Amino acid sequence: MTGGGAGPDLLRGLTSARVSRRGLLAGGGAAALAALLAGCSIKGSAASGAENAVDWTAFWKDAEATKQLNFANWPLYIDSDHGKSESLALFQQATGISVDYQAVIQDNATFYATVSPILRAQGATGYDLIVMTNGFELTQMIKNGFVCELDHSRLPNFAANAGDSVKDPTYDPGNKHSVVWQTGFTGIAYNPKYIDREITSFQDLLDPAFAGRVGLMSDNTELGSLGLLANGIAPETSTPADWRKAQAWLRKLRPSVTGFYDQSYINKLENGDTWITQAWSGDVFQAQQSGFEDLQFVTPEEGQMMWHDNLMIPRQAANPVAALEWMDFYYTPKIAGIVEDWVNYVCPVPGAEAYVRDELDDATVADSPLVFPDSDVLDRSHEFRVFENYDEYSEWNGIFNAVVQS
């Protein structure tokens, strides 16, 4: 992203009420989601969708190409110049497909609660393509049979250009139902104005010198994962006994914590209310480009979390072939590069780095390890725990809500 002023990451936070892209806020988010799921009669792991089994080979063979695509995404999450997107314009020029792009997704839980009753009734949502973060809601979309299985024979650019970090994710093995739109890291950020030593580990958060100046995420998924990593436990394969170990570590840290934040943590870090905090990579990159270039983002020696926002095709989509065409079009270095130069999260197409550098002449983005990380950083990045059912998800939330509320 070139130029001054607030970048799109920060603007996204402002326009979406500073709600975490991973779901509703802790201290109410878990309860709200429980109510939403109960209201939709889908408490628990839900039906597998077997009663609505589809022959996907036949489905894609019979699916007709159309000239319309209805794309639902988060606010300010695609390249845009006064409301016009170059990537979407190039797609229409190349394919003849018109795109109705709607920035209607504010958080995963509310969007899921909106579309799931329609999909359960085998109705059409009006969207051909949606973007959801890996987490409980996305898992429910897949388990309930609410999204299409993808025809990967129509996604040669994904096969050729997708980075290893976005292929075969734990939450959707083989990318059977999804491909990544953008990725982000959750690590540690600190302000060198107040901290004059190098930060390398989650254990640094326990330094008495930082008491009352430590920020943590209000999102339980993020909070619990930090506690697990601090104990040397991989969140992907963690058990309830591990979660309690993480809780104990976080309780030890709790007296030093000044607050549990949504995306507003970045403002607290900038103004000195916090000196060191759990942080998202994209926010720190944008803050660095917006006048706070001294802020530091750290991948702790214990590792960091990696989350993915994913493109998915809802069942009963009117234009599924057009949705697949966009997925494949996006997974070219040129189009991914155009989007990435504006969005500034972690690009799923490593080859876009050269396009951003050479064609868009933006070395700032191309050189950033927060946008194009090296293999060492990716190797130290972990996926979030995929919950088997609602009871397991509720147990996790109960354990880590207790930290926030203590």
Task: With beta carbons less than 8 A apart as the criterion, state whether 51 and 308 touch.
Answer: no
Task: With beta carbons less than 8 A apart as the criterion, state whether 282 and 181 touch.
Answer: no
Inform me whether the pLDDT recorded for 227 exceeds 50.
Answer: yes
Query: What integer pLDDT is reported at residue 177 of this predicted model?
Result: 98
Closest CA to 265 of 306, 302, 215: 215
Domain spans of the chain? 8-46+60-184+308-372, 185-306+396-405
pLDDT in tens, 258-316: 999 988 899 999 999 999 999 999 899 989 988 899 999 999 999 999 999 999 999 99
Q: Quote the pTM value.
A: 0.84
Give the SS3 label for residue 295.
coil
Burial class (CB in 10 A: 0-12, 13-18, 19+), 61: exposed
Tokens of 330: 């996006």
Alpha helices, DSSP H, located in 54-188: 56-62, 86-95, 108-120, 136-143, 156-161
Among the four given CATH numbers 3.40.190.170, 3.20.20.70, 3.40.190.10, 3.40.50.620, the one describing domain 8-46+60-184+308-372: 3.40.190.10
- Average pLDDT of span 173-197: 97
As a whole number of angstroms, the distance between CA 41 and CA 54 comes to 23
Closest CA to 372 of 169, 187, 172, 165: 165
Helix 136-143 vs helix 108-120: crossing angle, to nearest 10: 10
pLDDT in tens, 375-391: 999 999 999 999 989 99
Query: What integer pLDDT is reported at residue 204 of this predicted model?
Result: 98
pLDDT in tens, 198-212: 999 999 999 999 999
CATH architecture entry for 185-306+396-405: 3-Layer(aba) Sandwich (3.40)
